Amino acid sequence: MQTGGRRGPEIWLRGPVDDGPRAGTPAAPGRVSSIPASPRRFSWVATHGGAGVTTLTAVYGGQDCGRDWPGPQDPPSVLFVARTHAAGLASVLRAVEMFRRGAAPTGLDLDAVVLVADAPGRLPRELAAYVKAIESVIDVYRVPWVPAWRLGDPSGEPPRETEALVRLTGADRLPR
């Protein structure tokens, strides 16, 4: 038992949670759940122009909010999007800080940051350090450079490096 008022880390559940009938209940005597969980929908919000929100929406689904906050009809779960250049990383840090201070519209949940590669190859050391700083305060999903997307072709499967983002958005269930 710890003393001194310190507590352990909080545990957060993300994504759909099925609270359907449990085994041994009259509604489902032999099953754990009879209702399949559906993918969570997200509002993609660009933290700067050219972040790639429209392409990500085409590939992973969800609502393209551009650089605006989601409206009342849009999903309240927000994914901030930025490119991995210095200006993009600075803009996403400002946006996360705005959310942290409570300056975002009420009723919205910031779920994660999605960083889209601004060029092929590895990030320079200075930018990689910036990404680490962002990862220390929120979940970050990285999207690699995709030449076809640059040419305006978001068709095809999402890059395999984005498997975690596919699971988060439920893109593997989207019709192609």
Mean predicted lDDT score pLDDT of the chain? 82
Domains of the chain: residue spans and CATH: 43-173 (3.40.50)
Summarised one tens digit per residue, pLDDT across range 111-169 is 999 999 999 999 999 999 999 999 999 999 999 999 999 899 998 889 999 999 999 99
Q: CB-based contacts of 23: which residues, under 8 Å, 6+ apart?
A: 29, 30, 31, 32
Q: CB-based contacts of 138: which residues, under 8 Å, 6+ apart?
A: 96, 110, 112, 113
Summarised one tens digit per residue, pLDDT across range 73-86 is 999 999 999 999 99
